[in-house]
Chains A and B, each alone.
Chain A
């Protein structure tokens, strides 16, 4: 088919206009999501897209990295962090819309080994010290790493484990060290080893909640999206019963 140049321009214009209309009515949401929430958010988004016709583009990473990127103007609409600190900071700096922050999940810390039967259900393996390495995420960077440090300090094992500690830059890497068997023990998130409400591999000890400060994974609407209906709709959906069921099935608690 031959099209004259002017016709092609008109066609191009119509296409562009069409996509613009689409993005106004059937909204598109850009979400920055903490890496530990990868699997559940994908299920939640699938449901949300089916019910509302909106689309959600997901980016995964560490909360600290997202904080810096958002400060530098990264084009995100909502931020699902692994902690409370980073969303709070954004709120104070007017980069997030006030009164939109809420806890969408409570993270649970777990001591895990890829070997079945290696971790007992009281975590006594830690004090016995008969393991090669213990991996955890950098407490300066990752909330789960900080929780692991607090746990070890409460158990008065912090000094004892120093020689065995290896640090991942995120809980993903802490898991990786243990999954490849290079570290026999790892402090990670329960959600990393939970599928459909069950843990299927290795052995684990769910760390009692009185040993660490609650990991309040918080979400917030970012200022750039304060008039974006789809972004607000997504956050509302995150609070819904349907979303809650998915979140629980991955080993999180709800507030």
Chain B
């Protein structure tokens, strides 16, 4: 039986680490954003929604290319990070995290937003009459009721980050242990005609993705409804 070499194992570990960090960050960013999108009546709500949904339609290479320019020494973000002595973001794990957060944003925001919208005003108003303050209403009423939305968001964000390729390729520089994630490792194996390890990793990826989606459907998650 063919075994994986250490650099492939490293790629798997790095991918899981990236997806975990990104999912955690997305929960903190997407929750308030989804809450605002679900309740706001501001005129610019449409603009924000459109921006959140952009990664759904843009080729990842577009996002990767602009991030490369933005984070570069002449880019706005690049100038900011060097002014703060944070170093440069491209070719680093931190850079991949930022790229992935942006890229997987709609997959986290939209399920949570839909869940918040589905609750409606009524339970919150009832809670208000029972003298629950805004924070209390959010934590003890909205969050528990929106749990299926959160579950979908977590699974989709995690899986989507694992499956990400274009942004990582454009931004990463293929550094082992830092930016060489699973999808890039597979691509390299295929390109180098090393089909045995490519099969092993790619087959594992197919299995993983299938199990993730299956678990979503079996638990009654409404994947396609909430992503569109």
Stretch at the interface among B69-77, B110-118, B149-157: B69-77
Asked, given contacts A132-B88, A181-B73, whether A141 binds B191 with beta carbons under 8 Å apart, the answer is: yes
Q: Is the CB of B188 within 8 A of A141?
A: yes
Asked, given contacts A167-B173, A181-B72, whether A133 binds B187 with beta carbons under 8 Å apart, the answer is: no
Closest chain A residue to B176 by CB distance? A167
List chain A residues, Cβ under 8 A from B187. Answer: 169
Cβ-defined partner of B73 (8 Å) among A140, A169, A182: A182
Cβ-defined partner of A64 (8 Å) among B69, B169, B174, B192: B192
Cβ-defined partner of B173 (8 Å) among A65, A67, A135, A141: A135
Which residues of chain B from 12 to 29 have a CB within 8 Å of any chain A CB? none
Q: Is the CB of B173 within 8 A of A166?
A: yes
Dominant secondary structure of chain B at its interface with chain A: loop
Q: How many residues of A contact B (CB 8 A)?
A: 23
Cβ-defined partner of B72 (8 Å) among A135, A140, A165, A180: A180
Contact with B along A163-187 (1 / 0, CB 8 A): 0011111000100110011110000
Asked, given contacts A135-B173, A169-B169, whether A141 binds B192 with beta carbons under 8 Å apart, the answer is: yes
Q: Is the CB of B68 within 8 A of A182?
A: yes
A68 located at the interface, meaning its Cβ lies under 8 Å from any Cβ of chain B in the complex? yes
Cβ-defined partner of A182 (8 Å) among B91, B169, B191: B91
Asked, given contacts A141-B188, A181-B73, A182-B73, whether A167 binds B193 with beta carbons under 8 Å apart, the answer is: no
A77 located at the interface, meaning its Cβ lies under 8 Å from any Cβ of chain B in the complex? no
Contact with B along A199-242 (1 / 0, CB 8 A): 00000000000000000000000000000000000000000000
What are some 26 contacts across the A-B interface (CB < 8 A)? Answer: A64-B191, A64-B192, A65-B191, A67-B193, A68-B193, A132-B88, A133-B173, A138-B174, A138-B192, A140-B188, A140-B191, A141-B188, A141-B191, A166-B173, A166-B174, A166-B175, A169-B191, A173-B169, A173-B170, A177-B68, A180-B68, A180-B69, A181-B74, A182-B71, A182-B73, A182-B90
